[in-house]
């Protein structure tokens, strides 16, 4: 282990505070709240099989999807951790119908930040012991501090994000995040309960050899996506590429950032706007991808330039190594022009 690897996440956050335009200590406390909540969720994930918290919760979320027990538990854990620190004025969760106004104290309205979160991405994989994750996105509110939070505080373009990241609960637990100055990853030492810097300055390779897409839906894909898949499978000098799809966005993204690849969740004939949520999944992952030298679009335009119109808006998603996303976009444009 290098000397740099002994730096804890807490130390790193403090050291990098001056890189942040609006540094007042609030962002550090906010990230610390996410760090704490992730450790609690990690503990629950690791004992899920013996604690009767796997399986369905018996109710649906706003998208009409059946919630898992751990979805509900992770949502409660993150909301409580963020609410108690008096550093956010509002939270929007993929698991909640509407945003939550934080009123824990008079200081909450004075807070400058809102958080959007997917508490447990890929939760249906819990039952079969496959990696899952948490995704978070942080914005400065657009409404006046001291007043109640409003919907417009959450419906901001991805370019306005001041921080974003994810936690992956896998063979090891990691937090990966950015504040607009590169991407860094921290691995949890379970014996000490401390995150240590393990992956400094993470970057996508310019291209890669992995494509990640649910090919079981092939017949429902747009023609441009079908053409790109055929391109990936073609026997050429640098191909065929390898197909790798876990079904957990955090896990697929994390692997592709480390190894080089592209992740695609396109529109389909049944879901013309795709399945992934712009605010809770696509924007934070796009921020991370771009900070790591990658690219992220809906097949035609930059994800972070899309103006949200509703909290649970869905968009098609193409994300990963820059050249691979460019090539996929070229196939999309060509098919659209026919």
61 is in an annotated binding site: no
129 is in an annotated binding site: no
Q: Could you tell me where in the chain the CATH 3.40.190.80 domains are found? A: 210-337
| pLDDT (tens digit per residue) in 102-127 | 875 545 567 889 999 999 998 777 77
DSSP at 239: B
CATH code 3.40.190.80 for 210-337: yes
Confidence of residue 62 (pLDDT cuts 50, 70, 90): low
Three-class SS state of 242: strand
Confidence of residue 2 (pLDDT cuts 50, 70, 90): very low
Distance CA 25, CA 9 (A): 15
Q: What was the pLDDT predicted at 25?
A: 74
Taking 80 as the threshold, does the pLDDT of residue 144 lie above it? yes
CB contact at 8 A, 254 and 176: yes
Distance CA 128, CA 46 (A): 12
Taking 50 as the threshold, does the pLDDT of residue 26 lie above it? yes
Picking from 246, 251, 312, the residue whose alpha carbon sits closest to that of residue 285 is 251
Buried b (16+ CB within 10 A) or exposed e, 59-94: eebeeeeebbbbbbbbbebbbebbbebbbbbbbbbb
pTM here is: 0.92
Picking from 80, 56, 51, the residue whose alpha carbon sits closest to that of residue 69 is 56
| pLDDT (tens digit per residue) in 229-282 | 999 999 998 899 999 999 999 999 999 999 999 999 999 999 999 999 999 999
Backbone angles phi, psi at 318, to 5 degrees: -125, 120
275 is in an annotated binding site: yes
Q: Could you tell me where in the chain the CATH 3.30.540.10 domains are found? A: 3-199
The angle that helices 69-84 and 26-46 make with each other, rounded to 10 degrees, is 150
DSSP sequence for 77-118: HHHHHHHHTT-EEEEEETTSSS-EE--SSTTGGG--EEEEEE
- Average pLDDT, stretch 203-221? 97
281 is in an annotated binding site: yes
121 is in an annotated binding site: yes
Taking 50 as the threshold, does the pLDDT of residue 37 lie above it? yes
Task: Select 3-199's CATH number: 1.10.3720.10, 3.30.450.40, 3.30.540.10, 3.20.20.30.
Answer: 3.30.540.10
245 is in an annotated binding site: yes
76 is in an annotated binding site: no
Which value, in Å, is the radius of gyration of the alpha carbons in the chain? 19
Residue 314 pairs in a beta bridge with 277
263 is in an annotated binding site: no
Residue 102 sits at the vertex; the CA angle it makes with 24 and 117, to the nearest 5 degrees, is 80
Q: What was the pLDDT predicted at 67?
A: 66
């Amino acid at each position: 282990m290098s000397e740099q690897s002994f730096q804890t996440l807490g130390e790193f956050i403090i050291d990098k505070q001056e890189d942040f335009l609006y540094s007042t200590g609030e962002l550090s406390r906010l990230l610390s709240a996410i760090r704490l909540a992730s450790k609690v969720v990690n503990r629950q994930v690791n004992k899920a099989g013996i604690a009767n918290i796997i399986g369905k919760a018996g109710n649906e979320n706003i998208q009409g999807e059946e919630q898992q027990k751990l979805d509900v538990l992770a949502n409660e854990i993150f909301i409580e951790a963020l609410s108690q620190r008096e550093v956010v004025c509002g939270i929007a969760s993929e698991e909640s119908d509407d945003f939550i106004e934080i009123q824990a104290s008079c200081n909450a309205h004075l807070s400058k930040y809102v958080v959007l979160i997917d508490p447990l991405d890929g939760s249906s994989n819990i039952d079969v012991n496959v990696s899952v994750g948490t995704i978070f996105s942080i914005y400065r509110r657009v409404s006046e501090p001291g007043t109640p939070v409003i919907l417009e505080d959450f419906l901001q373009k991805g370019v306005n994000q001041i921080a974003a990241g994810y936690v992956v609960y896998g063979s090891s637990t990691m937090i990966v995040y950015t504040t607009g100055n590169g991407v860094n990853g921290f691995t949890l030492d379970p014996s000490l309960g401390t995150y240590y810097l393990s992956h400094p300055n993470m970057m996508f390779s310019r291209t890669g050899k992995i494509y990640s897409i649910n090919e079981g839906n092939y017949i429902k894909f747009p023609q441009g996506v079908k053409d790109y898949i055929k391109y990936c499978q073609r026997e050429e000098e640098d191909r065929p590429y390898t197909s790798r799809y876990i079904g957990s966005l955090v896990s697929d993204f994390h692997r592709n950032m480390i190894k080089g690849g592209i992740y695609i969740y396109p529109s389909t004939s049944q879901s013309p706007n795709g399945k992934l949520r712009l605010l809770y999944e696509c924007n934070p992952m796009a921020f991370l991808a771009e900070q790591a030298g990658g690219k992220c679009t809906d097949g035609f335009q930059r994800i972070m330039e899309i103006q949200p119109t509703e909290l649970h808006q869905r968009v098609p998603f193409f994300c990963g190594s820059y050249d691979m996303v460019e090539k996929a976009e070229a196939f999309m444009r060509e098919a659209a022009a026919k």
